[in-house]
């Protein structure tokens, strides 16, 4: 369904006039730095990693909210970075995003029902009574009875209900591919499971492919067929969920798993040193070497290449452990 090749996004660092005058070269935040992966039809890939590692930027590029600095995105084999405006508009209907913040993702002046009719009208799928009927059906489908919710305004809804509307709006066009960016992280803990179940029910109904962004490995384990682990703009490990969770090869994956007490026994835990490095001044060689307890001279000098088949990892000294 989706193939991402050598994707990069560098943001220029904003500087004052004095800083520009004295600095020799332009500096960039390397938010996404040569990322490749694929997502098959009906598959969920969880993208995990610490805050600031580039998850949201990757997702925003895939739905066209950000232009890549370099790389290719093939959607059903077509390179979306070279499409004409019309071709891109037709494609956009098949690619949707569910955002993290349910309060920011709805228009405060639009009725709930109108939020669902709007994409149908914009993409020429339906209008008038037909669009209204489809919107009401979808509201019922996501657990918000249409007679009660169609005419309500966003401020009259709870966070969980708003996220149901956001999911309904993304799903009403029956997309092939959805990016869900931390869709439950701002929602009350007691409601998270039901929202996740709702999202996953569409996966089965539509054979949906999904990039599911989360920093919560328990959630990633629950929803993802595969997991990709990102560190400082790069994917350092990717593979089937079971493989990555039970037999991590990269020390960073092992450290993230070690932070979940129910995943790893105390005596098996792998530590992580200090804080995430600066994405403007990326460490030499393996960019994780400043935090890796296993780092050796080679790690500081040579960037490790992705190795492995199916379960892939980028490390000179991969782990041989079972969690
Ligand atoms: N529009 C922008 N301009 C400049 N820098 C940006 C922009 N968007 C993101 N960044 C930077 O790019 C890096 C990656 O950010 P991103 O939001 O993709 O991370 P994330 O993994 O989603 O983090 P979080 O878990 O906190 O949501 C960060 O250093 C961030 O400050
Ligand atoms: S390449 Fe070296 S520094 Fe990087 S993760 Fe592997 S052991 Fe650690
Ligand atoms: Mg984010």
Query: Residues lining ligand 1, judged by CB closer than 6 Å?
Result: 11, 29, 31, 49, 51-57, 215, 279
289 CB within 6 A, ligand 2: yes
Q: How far is the CA of 310 from the centre of ligand 3 (A)?
A: 26
Q: How far is the CA of 233 from the centre of ligand 1 (A)?
A: 10
Whether 318 maps to a domain, the answer reads: no
Give the residue numbers spanning the domain of 78: 2-224
Whether 147 maps to a domain, the answer reads: yes
Q: How far is the CA of 172 from the centre of ligand 3 (A)?
A: 24
In this prediction, residue 87 carries a pLDDT of 81
Each residue's pLDDT tens digit, 127-160: 999 999 999 999 999 999 999 999 999 999 999 9
Q: How far is the CA of 275 from the centre of ligand 2 (A)?
A: 16
- State the pTM of this model: 0.94
Contacts of residue 41, Cβ cutoff 8 Å, sequence gap at least 6: 1, 176, 207, 209
Whether 70 maps to a domain, the answer reads: yes
292 CB within 6 A, ligand 2: yes
Whether 210 maps to a domain, the answer reads: yes
198 CB within 6 A, ligand 2: no
Question: Do 207 and 25 contact (CB within 8 A), yes or no?
Answer: no
Which tops the pLDDT comparison, 65 or 304? 304
Q: What integer is the mean pLDDT of 209-226?
A: 94
Cα(176)–Cα(111) distance, integer angstroms: 26
In this prediction, residue 80 carries a pLDDT of 87
Alpha helices in 63-158 (DSSP H): 85-92, 112-122, 128-141, 146-149
Q: Dig out the tokens for 273 from the structure.
A: 């040193």
Structurally, the chain folds into a number of domains equal to 1
Look at ligand 1, atom 3, and give the residue with the nearest C-alpha: 11
231 CB within 6 A, ligand 2: no
164 CB within 6 A, ligand 2: no
Sign of CA dihedral 69, 74, 79, 85: negative
Q: How far is the CA of 63 from the centre of ligand 3 (A)?
A: 14
For residue 38, list its beta bridge partners: 3
Whether 285 maps to a domain, the answer reads: no
Report how far apart, in Å, the C-alpha atoms of 263 and of each of 241, 245, 246 are.
Answer: 13, 8, 9
Cα(286)–Cα(133) distance, integer angstroms: 55
pLDDT for residue 18 is more than 80: no
pLDDT for residue 304 is more than 70: yes
Whether 45 maps to a domain, the answer reads: yes
Cα(235)–Cα(242) distance, integer angstroms: 18
Long-range pairs, 132-141, Cβ under 8 A, ≥24: 134/172, 135/172, 138/168, 138/171, 138/172, 139/112, 139/113, 139/168, 141/168
Q: What integer is the mean pLDDT of 38-65?
A: 95
In this prediction, residue 283 carries a pLDDT of 95
Whether 315 maps to a domain, the answer reads: no
Whether 126 maps to a domain, the answer reads: yes
Q: What angle do CA 132, 135, 138 make, to 5 degrees?
A: 150
Question: Do 28 and 57 contact (CB within 8 A), yes or no?
Answer: no
Looking at every residue in the chain, the average pLDDT score rounds to 93
User: 62: domain CATH number?
Assistant: 3.40.50.300
């Amino acid at each position: 369904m989706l193939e991402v090749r050598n994707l990069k996004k560098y943001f220029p660092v904003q500087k004052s006039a004095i800083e520009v005058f004295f600095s020799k070269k332009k500096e960039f935040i390397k938010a996404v730095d040569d990322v490749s992966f694929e997502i098959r039809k009906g598959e969920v890939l969880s993208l995990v990693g610490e805050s600031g590692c580039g998850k949201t930027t990757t997702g925003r590029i895939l739905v066209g909210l950000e232009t890549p600095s370099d790389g290719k995105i093939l959607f059903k084999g077509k390179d979306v970075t070279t499409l004409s405006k019309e071709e891109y508009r037709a494609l956009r209907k098949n690619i949707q995003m569910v955002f993290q913040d349910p309060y920011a993702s709805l228009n405060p002046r639009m009725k709930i029902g109108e939020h669902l009719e709007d994409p149908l009208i914009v993409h020429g799928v339906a209008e008038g009574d037909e669009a209204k009927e489809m919107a009401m059906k979808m509201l019922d489908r996501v657990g918000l009875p249409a007679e009660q919710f169609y005419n309500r305004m966003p401020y009259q809804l709870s966070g969980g209900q708003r996220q149901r509307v956001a999911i309904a709006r993304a799903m009403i066009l029956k997309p092939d591919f959805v990016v869900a960016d931390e869709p439950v992280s701002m929602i009350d803990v007691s409601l998270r499971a039901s929202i996740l179940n709702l999202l996953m029910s569409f996966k089965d109904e539509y054979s949906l492919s999904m990039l599911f962004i989360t920093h919560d490995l328990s959630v990633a384990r629950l929803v993802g067929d595969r997991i990709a682990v990102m560190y400082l703009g790069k994917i350092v490990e990717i593979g089937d969920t079971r493989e990555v969770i039970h037999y991590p090869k990269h020390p960073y994956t092992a450290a993230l798993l070690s932070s979940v007490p129910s995943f790893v026994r105390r005596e098996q835990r792998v530590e992580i040193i200090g804080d995430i490095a600066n994405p403007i001044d990326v460490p030499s060689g393996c960019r994780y070497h400043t935090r890796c307890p296993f780092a050796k001279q080679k790690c500081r000098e040579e960037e490790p290449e992705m190795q492995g088949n199916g379960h892939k990892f980028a490390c000179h000294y991969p782990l041989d452990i079972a969690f």
